[in-house]
Chains A and B, each alone.
Chain A
Amino acid sequence: MYNKYSVALGAALAVSVAGFAGGAMAKVEGDTITIGSSLSLTGKYSTNGFHTQKGYDFAVKRINDTGGVKVGGKSYKLKVVYYDDESTPSRASQLTERLVKQDGVEFMLGPYSTTMTKAVAPVTEKYKVPMVEAEGASRSLFTQGYKYMFAVLSTSEYYLAPVLDLVAQRAKAGWKAPSDLRIGMAFENDGFSLDVRAGVLDVAKKYNMKIVIDDKLPADLSDMSATLTKFKALKPDILLVSGHSKGAATAARQIEEMKIQAPVIAITHCEAAKVHVKFPKSANGLLCPTQWLTNLPNSEPIFGDAPTYDKDFKAAYPEYNTGIPYQTAQASAAVLVFKDAFERANSFDRDKVRDALAATDMNTFYGPIKFSEAGNNIAKPMFYRQIDADGNYKNVVTFKDFDMPRKVAY
């Protein structure tokens, strides 16, 4: 009698232990590695949230189709579990807790935007879950001493600063001394744009350029005509604007309306704001920073080079035929980084994977990837494209590759 009970009890215990073990082992079950991600699939970041998701999915599928991830002589498949954070930071951190504690996920892919990454990173850090993020560019993410977060993209202070390098080199080659260049700039008063500004200030100081306008646009301002009127009066050589898509659309609209004649204009997020379609006159000659160019020559075994990625992605998702946003490319690159780290760690131990991630030094279709102590990618530069009169984006590789002064015909 007694024995029977103990057998039953033992069996029940065994089942429950197995159950628990199953829960905790959810990251690698059978031949599947589960990676979690909280993405903005509804709300204000949803457009880019979807771009990111497609990038992750495309890379996961490609890696699985080309032999998967090889660890300990066995081939594993990748799988991503998504939750929708509704573009709300508090929701994103809740969902990350849930992914880690309830779903037992031990590896994370980043959310979309700096704001969301800031909400998620403390959670992944607390549980020591390695996260590779592709969409949070703010410098401030990498000053927190996070050990488990790695970012494949160039950080925000490089968005506009290299424009000044390009213009300075160009100016030296027969226009005027870089120290005679005058800058007018307007940045939205938020973390991202102020980082962009900090980068610009450093470079301007290096060349001794003079900043004659330095406006900070309030987040709820849809009118920068006061700044532009001042610009017309002072006539600086360079106009720099950063304020996400909203800032780009407002700037392009009012640059056209006020017939601004600056020789160089650089604006962030011009592609996302579709300025080349909506304001072709002012868009002509605009310099736009981008994380990725479709003609990068770097080649790797999974995707090949950038043109091949571009072609294959468009074949898989025909709705992107007009152009792939860089958000998608860098999301795919993040998945590549994970595969590479798993294989080098040859283990699924979190800390071993973390150390492997920190030692990443690889070439991808997206550009070279190598992380600093702080976790940001220091190997890849920011790229530029200039919009031409027909609304096409022309890649700028060296300082000779862009039109200056920009050709304007309002």
Chain B
Amino acid sequence: MAIEHLLYLSAFLFSIGLVIIITKRNAIMMLLGIELMLNAANLNLVAFGYDGKIEGQVFALFVVIVAVCEAAVGMAIVLRVYHYYTTSVPDDISNLKEQR
């Protein structure tokens, strides 16, 4: 399989992730979109390491770890928001803007 196919796949994944972030209103769905974008990047990094460049694969591992940390903190924040507002839709939460 040529490397181009993998790049097209990763570009496709990245676009899906970006569209999810822009169109979906739920914070959990947005987290999913972010995860897709990160995995698209991982796919690129591993694909570009085809000729023995180990750097990219190491970076991909780091990205996985970073994504896990981010998701953990993100879930905690979403949980706290849900506790206060009983919703996880960011558009419905607008205490801060009303004060203007």
Tell me if chain B binds chain A.
Answer: no
Residues of B within 8 A of A (CB): none
Residues of A within 8 A of B (CB): none
